[in-house]
Each structure stands twice: as structure tokens, then as C-alpha cells.
Amino acid sequence: MTSSLERKPPRPRAGLGFEGRILRLVKSAPELRAIESGQVDAVIDPATGKAFLLPDAQLALREDQTRNRSLLALSADWTWELDQDYRFISHSSIAAGNAAPYGAGAIGKRLWELPFDLEEADWKVHRRLLEWRTTFRDLELRCTDRAGEVRYVSFSGEPIVDRKGNFTGYRGITRDITERRRVAPIPENGGASRAVLKVPVREQRAATQDRIANHVLAALPRKDYLGLLDGLDAVTLTYGTVLYEPEEPITHVFFPVDCLVSLLTTVEGHHATEVGLVGREGMVGISHALGMNVSSVRALVQGTGTAMRMSAARFRKAFEKCPPLQRALYRYTYAKLALARQTVACNRFHVIEARLARWLLMTSDRVLSDEFILTQAFLGDMLGVLRAAVNKAACSLQERKVISYSRGKIRILDRTGLEAASCRCYTRIEGLNPDAVP
Amino acid sequence: MPRRKKKQGRSGRAVGTVVVMRLYIAANAPNSALALANLAAICNEYLGDKFKLEIIDVLENPLRALADGILVTPSLAKVSPLPAAKIVGNLGEKSTVLRALGVKERTH
């Protein structure tokens, strides 16, 4: 069989630089016809296994990039990129001669190492958001420029994930919002990050809650979030309160903000064992989203704090109407299910010390604090072991100076050490965090 | 009318058969973007949710395309139901695409 090329040599097309080498490889007629009629973007060379963009496509892609860049220049004053440890690896001044007020020395430093005026607690929240690999929007910061004038900048960023799904850093934009701030100055007592513009109360609530809120809620588009807000009220959940008992109807669902709720399964004749832990990354009462209005577990508040509460009926209605909420909760349910599976395997195979370390890390992640109060008996229930075993494991961790433990007060001294002491389940579970799923 | 019915029964797509396809593209180069849009329109009109589409970017994954016998992009390969078929180009001709997918074109 003769190749189509020999039968009908291709018309030389303007700008097609490598036809001699590549086109000979294209033997069948349809490919050739497509190339001739300009319907092809790229050709793969079987000899090298590489794809080559045809000149027209190259040009179009380059134009596309230029267009994006000019759009970016319209919407942002600066763009930047952070590495895995959140250090600036690049910081551009798109508009020439427009230096960022926080100085040229940003490269190699983290955002909180720059001279911004923000309270440590707020930085902590921001750092946790970064650790959770979430997209952050409009982190508003105040700083003083070289001329001694107060300037406001707003940071937004998104995580970068490579092709294998590994986190490689953050990239984002910064806008200078000083002018806007001059028009609507912030109240003196409000911190820079919490400050809001003069907007209706509901909007304002949304704006302030955005930064601290529960992750399921924070992941919702603004419109849907505002729609839900009316049905939500903030309640304080205190340590030891039982929200649901098994087989009892669910009257309210909860979106924890800074409290911690433990899900326990009871086995006849034994203490309850923990099967799940819900913090600000999730929702308590997930079975309601799955169509069951009874709880299968006991939900026990384990860390005092705030939660957003919504009545079950109202939640049901909102859930049906709001696909983003459905998606967020399905993802979360998936993560929860995977966590339960991992916990089962972990409880069966791993030593108590590793499990204790994992549990402390998970708790700390959810309450955004390195210090919390837990008795040994309670920990024993959580891990499904005797109190004495907990004591032994805790002492061992304390000896290695990764935690300090006295009178039920646990403090994580060395997070990396604790991570090393915990079993691999911790990294696996945290990898399943719904926020980590792009 | 009866003739049409008979023909549909013999060569038309069986109800419920899922068409599995792979579309090979080069990032968002113009023809690739066009092919994707054309295919999306066709799937929407004729296949409903009875299809599975895998999109392969040859700039990221040239060897995969090569292994599947694809040399230029955009290309669409029908994997199942058999017979397998391949179309090259931006999928602008609806009738060609439908014939390759084994879907009967609506006359009205």
C-alpha cells in the first residue's frame, strides 16, 4: 500500500515549518486532509513521542496568554507565588514602577513575617487556611509604606497542585485598596482583617463570617451562602452536651465554627467508641443530608465553642435547592466515610501511642489550637482502650517532649515530633479533607 | 414511516448503550477548543447522559495518544460500542461525527 503522501503531496502551507519531518509520518488520508484544511493544532512525532504545536496554534495560545495577562493587569496590582512553605518565590510589579508598599524584600519571606498590622490570632486562622489548602479571598492587611503613609492591600490566593496532585504552593494577586478604604474608613476598634466596608448588615455578616466560618459554608458561592444565612443562628455548644442520641430524630444540624463534636458509636456493655470527629471542616447531622432524619451515632460536644445551627426542616429545604451545598456535603460525606474506614483499620492494627498522637493532631487541627482539655478516661473512650493504657501512651509522648499533659490539660509542644509519632493514618486522613480535593 | 422504524431497529443505537469516547486535544488551542464545543453540543443533543468522554491533552500526555494510535489533534476516538472509529479535525461536520459514533441523525 502506498501512503497518501506519495499519491498526493501536501500543498506547502505558509508557516508550516516542520512538515518535511512530521507530515511524512502521517500516513492516512484523514489526518492529512485535516492538516491541509487547518483543523489540526498539534502533531505527535512517533519517533520521539513528543507533541508539536502547529504554528497557528502556537500563535493562538500565545495570544491567549497575553490576553490573560492583560486581564490580570486590569484586576490586580501585583501577582505573586509562594512555595510549599508559604515563602514568596516571586512577586511581580505588573505596572512598571509600581512597587508594593510592603517592600521589595518579600522574596523568601512568609506573609506573616512582613511588616503587616494584624493580630497573631488572625494570622493563625490564615495559616490554618493555608494548611488546609483552601483558596483565600480578600485578606485585607494594613501596612506603612516608605513614605510613612498607611496603605491597605488585599491578598487573594489559590493553591497550586501539580499534575500528580501534590501541593506545590500558592499563587495569587494583591490589590491596593487604600483609595477604597479612604472612602469608607474602618472603625478604630476593628482589626484590619475583620474590617468591612459600609455594606448592609447581612452582607457584612457574610463578609466577616467568611474568614472564620465553617468550611462547608465558606465553600459555597456567595449567593447561596447569603441565602442560607437567614436560617442560621450562632449557638455556643458547651463541653459534654449531647447533640444527638442514636435512633433519635434530628431536630437541628450544626456547622461547627470553633467547637469540636465527637461522633460515638455505642456497643452493648462497653463504653462508647469514637467513630468520627467534626470540626469546622464539616457538619454535624450529615445523615439528614443523606435522607435519614435519625442519627446513627451519639454526637457529643468535646470542645466548647460556637457553631452555626439550622433547623432540620429548613436545612432540608435549603439542601434541595442548593447544588453547591449538595456537592460540598457529598464530598464531606465521602471524606467522613473514608475516615471511618481508616479509623477502623487504625484501631485494629496500630499501637495506642500512635493512635493517641493521631487523635491529638486531628483535634488540634479542628480546634485551631495547640492546647485543649481532655481527661484520660475520656481519651480512653475515644480510642476504645483502658484509661491506664492512655496514661502509658501519654507519658511516653510526654517523655519525648512532644506534648505536656497535666490534670487533663494537653499541650502540643512539638508538632513535627507528634506527627512523627502518629501513624500514617493521620496524613492519609488529612489528605482526604474535602478541601484538599480540588 | 414504517421503513424508518425498521431501519432504526436494525442500525440505530440500542437504547441505554453508553458511548465511550476519547477526545485528544492540545491545551486550549483554537481547533481543540472548537472540537470540544462541537462535541459537547452533539452529545447534548443526541446522547443525553448516555456517554462517557475522556479528554486527553497531548501536550501533557503525548505517549498516551501515541499508544492509542493518534497522531494529530484534535481527534475523537470512539472506543465502544464496537466498531471503534476515529475522526480527525474540529468535529464541525455533525453528520460525519454522528456516523462515526453510530448515532442516527435526526431528520426534523
Q: Rounded to the nearest 5°, which phi and psi values hold at A405?
A: -140, 115
Q: Which pLDDT value is given to residue A186?
A: 45
With a pLDDT cut of 90, the percent of chain A lying above it is 0
Burial environment of residue A23 by CB neighbours within 10 A (0 to 12, 13 to 18, 19 or more): buried
Q: Show Cβ contacts of residue B59 under 8 Å, excluding neighbours closer than 6 positions.
A: A42, A51, A53, B26, B27
Question: What's the structural domain count of chain A?
Answer: 4
Of B40, B41, B53, B35, give the one whose Cα is nearest residue B92.
Answer: B35
Is pLDDT above 50 for A436? no
Q: Do B71 and A64 touch (CB under 8 A)?
A: no
With a pLDDT cut of 70, the percent of chain A lying above it is 79
CB-based contact (8 Å) between B58 and chain A? yes
Classify residue A430: in a domain, yes or no.
no
Instruction: Using an 8 Å CB-CB cutoff, list chain A residues near B33.
Output: none
CA dihedral sign, ordered A350, A354, A360, A364: negative
Instruction: State whether A89 and A190 are in the same domain.
Output: yes
CA B38 to chain A, closest CA, distance in angstroms equals 13
Who wins on pLDDT, B69 or A183? Answer: B69
> Using CB atoms, which residue from A37, A46, A60 is nearest to B29?
A60
Secondary structure (DSSP) of A347-389: HHHS-HHHHHHHHHHHHHHHHT-SEEE--HHHHHHHHTS-HHH
Domain boundaries in chain B?
A: 17-101
The string of pLDDT tens digits covering residues A18-68 is 444 444 555 556 777 777 777 888 887 777 777 778 777 888 888 887 777
For the entire predicted model, the pTM comes to 0.42
Alpha helix (H) ranges present in chain B?
Answer: 2-11, 30-42, 62-67, 94-101
Q: By residue range, what is the domain housing residue A156? A: 76-198
Classify residue A206: in a domain, yes or no.
no
Q: Which pLDDT value is given to residue A438?
A: 35
Of A199, A183, A211, A283, give the one whose Cα is nearest residue A243.
Answer: A283
Instruction: State whether A333 and A365 are in the same domain.
Output: no
**In the structure grid, which three cell numbers stand for residue A19, read together?**
512538515
Measured from the Cβ of residue B96, the count of other Cβ atoms closer than 10 Å reads 13
Classify residue A414: in a domain, yes or no.
yes
Residue A177 three-state SS: coil
Residue A10 three-state SS: coil
CB-based contact (8 Å) between B87 and chain A? yes
> Using CB atoms, which residue from A37, A41, A163 is nearest to B73?
A41
First to last CA, chain A: 49
The string of pLDDT tens digits covering residues A284-335 is 988 888 888 888 888 888 777 778 888 888 888 888 888 888 888 888 888 8
B55-81 burial code (b ≥16 CB/10 A, e <16): ebbbbeebebbbeeebbbbbbbbbeee
Q: For residue A381, what is the domain's CATH number?
A: 1.10.10.10
Query: Could you report the predicted ipTM of this complex, rounded to two decimals?
Result: 0.72
End-of-domain residue from the set A198, A232, A265 = A198
Who wins on pLDDT, A105 or A208? Answer: A105
Q: Give the residue carrying C-alpha cell 472506543.
A: B79
Instruction: State whether A190 and A307 are in the same domain.
Output: no
Residue A146 three-state SS: coil
CB-based contact (8 Å) between B37 and chain A? no
CB-based contact (8 Å) between B41 and chain A? no
CA B100 to chain A, closest CA, distance in angstroms equals 13
**pLDDT-derived band of residue A184, with 50, 70 and 90 as boundaries?**
low
Instruction: State whether A87 and A172 are in the same domain.
Output: yes
Q: Do A39 and B90 touch (CB under 8 A)?
A: yes
Strands B19-25 and B51-57: what pairing? Answer: parallel
CA B96 to chain A, closest CA, distance in angstroms equals 12
Classify residue A155: in a domain, yes or no.
yes
Q: Do A31 and B88 touch (CB under 8 A)?
A: yes
Strands A371-373 and A403-406: what pairing? Answer: unpaired
**pLDDT-derived band of residue A16, with 50, 70 and 90 as boundaries?**
very low
Calculate the alpha carbon distances from A80 to A108, A172, A295, A311, B84 in Å: 12, 6, 46, 43, 47
Classify residue A433: in a domain, yes or no.
no
Is pLDDT above 80 for B36? yes
The string of pLDDT tens digits covering residues A288-298 is 888 888 888 88
**In the structure grid, which three cell numbers stand for residue A259, read together?**
467547637
Instruction: Using an 8 Å CB-CB cutoff, list chain A residues near B27.
Output: 61
Residue B66 three-state SS: helix
Q: For residue A129, what is the domain's CATH number?
A: 3.30.450.20
Q: How far is the C-alpha of B106 from the C-alpha of B45, rounded, in Å?
A: 10
The string of pLDDT tens digits covering residues A232-265 is 877 888 877 888 888 888 889 998 887 888 888 8
Calculate the alpha carbon distances from A32 to A10, A51, A402 in Å: 8, 16, 67
Spatial contact of B57 and B81, defined as CB atoms under 8 Å apart: no
> Using CB atoms, which residue from A40, A49, A61 is nearest to B72?
A40
Instruction: State whether A269 and A379 are in the same domain.
Output: no
Average pLDDT of A367-372? Answer: 75
**In the structure grid, which three cell numbers stand for residue B1, read together?**
414511516
Residue A23 three-state SS: helix
Instruction: State whether A260 and A324 are in the same domain.
Output: yes
Spatial contact of B2 and B36, defined as CB atoms under 8 Å apart: no
Average per-residue pLDDT for chain B: 76
Which fold would CATH assign to domain B17-101? Glutaredoxin (3.40.30)
CB-based contact (8 Å) between B38 and chain A? no
CB-based contact (8 Å) between B72 and chain A? yes
The string of pLDDT tens digits covering residues A187-226 is 444 333 333 333 334 444 444 444 446 788 877 887 787 7
Of B2, B1, B93, B82, give the one whose Cα is nearest residue B42.
Answer: B93
Q: How far is the C-alpha of A319 from the C-alpha of A340, rounded, in Å?
A: 24
